[in-house]
Amino acid sequence: MQPNLLTVDIAVVGAGPSGLYAAYYAGFRGLTVAVLDSLPEPGGQISALYPEKPIYDVAGLPAVRGRDLVSGLVEQAAPFDPTYVLGDQVVGLQRQPHQDHGDRGIVLTTAAERTVSCGAVVLTAGIGTFRPRPLPAGEAHLGRGLMYFVPTLAELSGRDVMIVGGGDSAFDWALALEPLARSVTLVHRRESFRAHQHTVDQVMASSVRVLTRRQVHAVHGNEWVKSVDIRRDEDGAIESHDVQTVVAALGFTADLGPLATWGLTLDNRNIVVDTAMSTGLPGIYAAGDITAYPGKVRLISVGFGEAATAINNAATYLDPAADLFPGHSTDATTTSDATRTSQPSPALA
């Protein structure tokens, strides 16, 4: 039976790229760390939305699949044995004295009634809790041919696939599935698209069938999707298409959830931080897409730097005698030889 009480130096809330890099840096600083996320696997939006999509703007990697980037970040942090608490949302934050952290003790509670006691918190929750926008006509087939994300491209190999949407995700999935699926049809309610023009041009030049000014009217099939009826806006006519999979890429809604009640300074659902990535609340830092400050640029590469800044400043908060600069990683004999303040805690899953 897994324990419900965990004590670490730093708790990282959010297991996206910034959170995973924060876990590495906490370990490099000799700090024990727990990484918490409401999603069931590490990677955040990358794992949920575009695990197979190539990412081109990570320094030193000309191109890397989202899935591979997440795998590399997990591997980078692994020598320091971070504890992952996944599939469980953080709902509460309280302060109380702790034998290890004195009056700086912070206690996080989760929806599953787990408790994490720590000295500092780094919030790397991306855009917060996000949920896909539903496809009302197909909700009854969710998990039976209707999906909102494509975890693995190979599972749709040889199928007739209909993608609904006009944004980047819809066009990215269409382009990625075109060489694998038996057929790909993209349906959008407008003639214009929100996706990047370069990707639109690539899809238009491919074998993907693009149907505009149409909406999904009905999804048919008993155990599994068999066909989809779409309605033409200009005359209301119904067209039937034989497909086995519908990918509804209609965007998603996001909110900060319980974080919004913690007394943080917010700017349009983002957490305001200073140059130390401090939220202004003692011991609470933030990094990645969730942060707001003048000149903020929301890129994965920027989030990595913010995560390192947050962890190093949190380290000096925990120990005012510690140096802000952590030293160069090349000075360590091996990654796993980096010093630790205490033994790693068991995983909570």
What is the pLDDT, as a whole number, of residue 23? 98
Query: What's the pTM?
Result: 0.76
Position 317 pLDDT exceeds 80: yes
Q: Tokens 């600083």 correspond to what residue?
A: 29
Q: Give me the helix-helix angle, 17-28 and 300-318, nearest 10°.
A: 40
Task: Please tell me the distance from the alpha carbon of residue 37 to that of residue 129, in angstroms, as a whole number.
Answer: 9
Position 341 pLDDT exceeds 70: no
Position 46 pLDDT exceeds 50: yes
- The type of residue at 219 is V
What is the pLDDT, as a whole number, of residue 38? 87
Residue with more model confidence, 20 or 39: 20
Tokens of 236: 């209301």
Mean pLDDT of 237-256: 89
Position 339 pLDDT exceeds 50: no
Where do runs of H (alpha helix) occur along 29-65? Answer: 45-49
Architecture of the domain whose range is 5-130+253-337: 3-Layer(bba) Sandwich (3.50)
Mean pLDDT of 6-32: 96
Q: What pLDDT, in 10s, does the model give residues 133-191? A: 889 898 899 989 999 888 788 899 999 999 999 998 899 899 999 999 999 999 999 99
Residue with more model confidence, 342 or 320: 320
Contact 89, 257 (CB under 8 A): yes
Binding residues for FAD: 18, 37, 45, 50, 90, 130, 289, 330
Spatial neighbors of 296 by CB under 8 A, at least 6 apart, are: 270, 302
Spatial neighbors of 82 by CB under 8 A, at least 6 apart, are: 23, 26, 27, 33, 34, 35, 344
Share of residues in the chain with pLDDT > 90 (%) = 68
Task: Please tell me the distance from the alpha carbon of residue 203 to that of residue 206, in angstroms, as a whole number.
Answer: 5
Mean pLDDT of 69-85: 96
Q: What pLDDT, in 10s, does the model give residues 269-278? A: 899 999 999 9
What is the pLDDT, as a whole number, of residue 257? 83
Share of residues in the chain with pLDDT > 70 (%) = 91
Q: What topology is assigned to 134-250 in CATH?
A: FAD/NAD(P)-binding domain (3.50.50)
Residues present in the chain in total = 349
Binding residues: 18, 37, 45, 50, 90, 130, 289, 330
Instruction: State the Cα torsion 330-336-342-343 to the nearest 10°.
Output: 170
Q: What pLDDT, in 10s, does the model give residues 91-107? A: 999 988 766 666 668 99
Nearest to 149 by CA among 248, 17, 38: 248
Position 1 pLDDT exceeds 50: no
Cα angle 29, 33, 35 (rounded to 5 degrees) comes to: 130
**For the chain, domain boundaries:** 5-130+253-337, 134-250
